[in-house]
């Protein structure tokens, strides 16, 4: 590496942007102490992005967008003159605790790349994800990004025999901190680029990324298709193989194919046993197949993995984290499902101790509602409940059923918070059916079916409503619909055929 007149190596912050005025100032401010040169390639901004960049002394270059993120990144590399390259997105910032480590690396003479820890913030789902990826590397002209979207430098570093070391440099990424609608719009843009690339490059990495994108777009069939293709190549990164098998497990669970769901989650954990979401999913599968001990064992594994992640410095491509609050909710839920009173008391007590000091607004509401139901009292009117999530509702419903309390005084309140929830409409419909309030039961169950048409239990409860109302023709049409919808579900076929036999021969 060449050095300047003062004997120090120089670092270039290399970026591509388009209409990033919302984030850009925060990003550049976070890096100003360690950058000697800022190179920003603008692919068509119509806002004040370039002016903000220039106020930080950045060299800005216009680039005609050609639907290829790597092409734009490589143009930025061509314009970069520093000895080191640090690349960021505008919706990222450097954790200020990482500045001394970057300073130390840039002032040494070495031809190495460094993995940085990227923390993806998502306030909408409440889950963060962690990943490591080389973001700091020597400015060697033979290095180039690859991939029209989800562009990578890793392959080029490896082909150039550049050693990659781990670091504790943390980059905070806000690009996933989007509403569901905005996240889908971003995925739709990426999908077109990925499919264009796949037409020329049928690699397992691109298949994986297409599967991920279809999964975001909630197109389960297409996601499963591309994940099945990706996992055929066992040389794909283990993290990607693990994720693909986990999503396939979710897919088969929705189809009520428990054997395939179990098979894929086992493969997922075999490829990567550091993913708390994998153990959480397996706990759910074990609960559905009435394997109590395995279910609670997986909950404990989730907790252990979470605690170990706080200390680890291992390399990983991506780990989806889970909050303690979410894990304790799952533990409380399974305690109620399996009628484990002592476990319920223990986990709820731990929830109070460990979660009460968190800043999540719904925690006090959740605790107070649980206590109200346990004491068979009305929910206090001052509880807003607006931030409660469906996992909390699931616990409320289980506790109401366990204690056999008057559900009406609680569901009338829940309706204000969860009226668009599948779970609320399903559970309320079931309770109304049991009470014989058939009109309202049909309304709630029909709403539940619209919200989630993959749950066979809703179809069967609706069938019970029609039979109870002596609407036999409607019931016959409905059982035909069930048979068509779940024709590939061998577990349900015998039940469907038995009901058909009774309906069509009465």
Mean pLDDT of the 169-178 span: 85
List beta partners, residue 419: none
Q: 11-17 and 112-120 as β-strands: parallel, antiparallel, unpaired?
A: unpaired
pTM here is 0.80
User: Considering the domain boundaries, does residue 443 fall inside one?
Assistant: no
How much is the average pLDDT of 309-318?
A: 57
Model confidence at 176, pLDDT cuts 50, 70, 90, reads confident
The average confidence (pLDDT) of the chain is 90
Q: Which residue has the higher pLDDT, 291 or 109?
A: 291
Q: Evaluate whether residue 26 is within a structural domain.
A: yes
What whole-number distance in Å separates Cα of residue 146 and Cα of residue 40?
19
Is residue 506's pLDDT more than 70? no
Q: What is the mean pLDDT of residues 487-504?
A: 81
Nearest to 104 by CA among 186, 159, 162, 165: 165
d(CA 491, CA 505): 23
pLDDT of residue 330: 96
Residue 33 reports pLDDT greater than 90 = yes
For residues 493, 496, 500 and 503, what is the CA-based torsion angle, rounded to 10 degrees?
Answer: 170
Question: Is residue 504 a contact partner of residue 479, using CB atoms and an 8 Å limit?
Answer: no
DSSP H helices in 56-120: 69-78, 99-106
pLDDT computed for residue 127 by the predictor: 65
In a domain, 115, yes or no: yes
Q: Which two tokens stand for residue 412?
A: 């009338």
**Res 494 pLDDT > 90:** no
Residue 243 CA to residue 320 CA, distance in Å, equals: 10
Residue 320 pLDDT level (bands cut at 50, 70, 90): confident
Query: Into how many domains does the chain fold?
Result: 1
Q: Please report whether residue 144 resides in a domain.
A: yes
pLDDT surpasses 90 at 198: yes
Query: 233 pLDDT exceeds 90?
Result: yes
Chain segment 149-166, per-residue pLDDT in tens: 889 999 999 999 999 998
Q: What is the pLDDT of residue 378?
A: 93
CB 70 within 8 A of CB 144: yes
Whole-number pLDDT of residue 5: 40
Residues 6+ apart with CB under 8 A from 123: 177
Cα separation of 336 and 331, whole Å? 9
Length of the chain: 506
Find where tokens 């990567």 sit. 272
Identify whether 488 is part of a domain.
Answer: no
319-320 and 129-138: which strand pairing? antiparallel
Does some domain include residue 336? no
pLDDT in tens, 437-477: 999 999 999 999 999 988 899 999 999 999 999 999 999 89
Max distance between CA atoms of the chain, in angstroms, equals: 96
Domain that holds residue 80: 11-173
Residues 343-369 have pLDDT tens digits of 999 999 999 998 877 666 788 999 999
Least confident of 54-68, 239-253, 299-313: 299-313
CA distance 16 to 75: 9
pLDDT given at position 132: 87
| H or E element at residue 39 | strand 37-42
Question: What is the C-alpha to C-alpha distance for residues 226 and 218, in angstroms, rounded to an integer?
Answer: 14
501 — phi, psi (to 5°)? Answer: -60, -45
Q: Is residue 317 part of a domain?
A: no
Structure-model confidence comparison of residues 1 and 401, the more confident one? 401
| Assigned domain for 489 exists | no
CATH code of the domain in which 32 resides = 3.90.550.10
Give the model's confidence band at 124: pLDDT under 50 very low, under 70 low, under 90 confident, else very high: low
Residue 2 pLDDT: 43
Q: Using the structure block, give the residue that is written with the tokens 């197949």.
A: 289
Neighbours of 419 (CB within 10 A): 12
């Amino acid at each position: 590496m060449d050095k300047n007149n003062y004997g120090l190596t120089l670092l270039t912050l290399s970026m591509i942007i388009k209409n990033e005025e919302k984030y850009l100032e925060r990003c550049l401010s976070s890096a100003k102490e360690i950058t000697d040169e800022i190179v920003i390639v603008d692919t068509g901004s119509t806002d004040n992005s370039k002016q903000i960049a220039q106020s930080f002394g950045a060299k800005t270059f216009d680039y005609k967008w050609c639907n290829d993120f790597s092409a734009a990144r490589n143009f930025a590399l061509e314009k970069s003159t520093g000895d080191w390259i640090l690349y960021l997105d505008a919706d990222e910032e450097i954790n200020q605790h990482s500045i001394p480590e970057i300073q130390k690396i840039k002032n040494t003479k070495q031809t190495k790349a460094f993995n940085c820890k990227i923390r993806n913030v998502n306030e909408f789902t409440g889950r963060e994800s962690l990943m490591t990826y080389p973001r700091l590397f020597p400015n060697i002209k033979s290095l180039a990004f690859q991939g029209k979207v989800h562009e990578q430098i890793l392959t080029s570093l490896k082909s150039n025999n550049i050693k990659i070391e781990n670091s504790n440099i943390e980059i905070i990424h806000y690009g996933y901190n989007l509403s569901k609608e905005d996240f889908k719009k971003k995925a739709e843009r990426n999908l077109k680029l990925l499919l264009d690339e796949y037409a020329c490059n049928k690699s397992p990495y691109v298949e994986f990324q297409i599967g991920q994108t279809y999964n975001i777009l909630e197109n389960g069939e297409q996601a499963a298709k591309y994940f099945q293709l990706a996992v055929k190549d066992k040389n794909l990164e283990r993290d990607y193989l693990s994720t693909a098998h986990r999503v396939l497990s979710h897919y088969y669970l929705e189809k009520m194919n428990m054997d395939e769901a179990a098979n894929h989650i086992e493969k997922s954990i075999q490829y990567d046993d550091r993913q708390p979401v994998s153990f959480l999913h397996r706990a759910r599968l074990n609960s559905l197949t009435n394997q109590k001990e395995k279910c609670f064992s997986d909950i404990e594994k989730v907790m252990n993995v979470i605690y170990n992640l706080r200390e680890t410095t291992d390399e990983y491509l991506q780990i989806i984290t889970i909050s303690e609050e979410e894990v304790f909710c799952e533990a409380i839920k399974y305690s109620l499902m399996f009628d484990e009173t002592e476990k319920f008391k223990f986990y709820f007590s731990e929830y109070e101790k460990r979660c009460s000091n968190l800043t999540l607004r719904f925690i006090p509401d959740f605790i107070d509602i649980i206590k109200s139901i346990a004491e068979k009292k009305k929910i206090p009117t001052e509880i807003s409940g607006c931030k409660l999530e469906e996992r909390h509702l699931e616990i409320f419903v289980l506790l109401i059923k366990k204690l056999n309390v008057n559900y009406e005084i609680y569901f009338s309140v829940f309706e204000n918070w969860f009226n668009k929830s599948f779970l609320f409409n399903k559970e309320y419909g079931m309770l109304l059916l049991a009470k014989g309030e058939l009109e309202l039961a049909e309304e709630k169950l029909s709403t539940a079916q619209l919200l989630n048409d993959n749950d066979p239990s809703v179809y069967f409860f609706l069938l019970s409503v029609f039979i109870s109302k002596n609407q036999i023709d409607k019931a016959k049409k409905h059982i035909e619909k069930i048979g068509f919808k779940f024709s590939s579900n061998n577990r349900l076929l015998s039940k469907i055929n038995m009901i058909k036999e009774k309906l069509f021969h009465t």
